Amino acid sequence: PDPAANPPTGSGRSSAVRDRRLTPAGADGMLAAEAARDLLAEAGIPVIETALCASPSAAAAAARRLGYPVVAKVVHPELIHKSDAGGVRPGLGTAAAARRAARDLLALADGASVLVQPQGQGVELVVGGLRDPQFGPVVLAGLGGILVEARDDVALAVAPVDEAAAIALLRSLRGSAVLDGLRGQPAVDLPAVARVIVRVGRLLADAPEILELDLNPVLAGGRGCVAVDWRIRVG
């Protein structure tokens, strides 16, 4: 059985946050990308394999190791919204393409790094949460990607939630028909996405230091899902 489907009712912190100092990388309170990824993975949230690179040659080597095509993303505390800054380069099919993309991304800001990931496929969802001053930890789920704000199709619930409540949250979306498969695409593995929502809610409940958590997008397919971009703000 999946322990995250029925969260414990005790007051102890989960193993994902116990004895871990959530130290932000900058004044904005954001955790460093690798630290955030490690925290999510320890909480049982599927995150895509990544390589943090400081040079074009390192990015090319990472692309060869991860397998083509890959995506390269800029990492810098002042470039939170990577797409808005021109900091995402998808569909890189050769080492030379990865090297060129990394060179361009590193030039976007002093001290920038490059995150290289395998390029995934699936329905783009957003899963996250925040700490509301009145209700406490709140988890959200919706249709994601770069148009998440334009679509404005998200649902919220006080955390923690169980798997049944998480599925109900997904089913309440206006665009929930996309979860059942459109134009020959497979239906989304709803239990897998629901488990991510459950675990995000538990992480927020266990770690009062976390003020905001954003997984966007989570790529969901017929067999599982994976977060490919993430932000965690602490305070």
Q: Per-residue pLDDT for the chain (235 aa), expressed as one digit of tens each?
A: 333 333 333 445 665 665 566 877 666 899 988 899 999 999 999 999 999 999 999 999 999 999 999 999 999 988 888 888 899 999 999 999 999 999 999 999 999 999 999 999 999 999 999 999 999 999 999 998 876 665 789 999 999 999 999 999 999 999 999 999 877 788 999 999 999 999 999 999 999 999 999 999 999 999 999 999 999 999 8
User: CA angle at residue 120 from 176 to 137, to 5 degrees?
Assistant: 55
Confidence (pLDDT) at 129: 95
Instruction: Tell me the C-alpha to C-alpha distance, in Å, between residue 10 and each of 44, 203, 205.
Output: 19, 14, 11
Give the pTM: 0.86
Cα–Cα dist 11/42, whole Å: 19
Cα–Cα dist 98/96, whole Å: 5
Confidence (pLDDT) at 17: 65
Confidence (pLDDT) at 2: 36
Confidence (pLDDT) at 234: 94
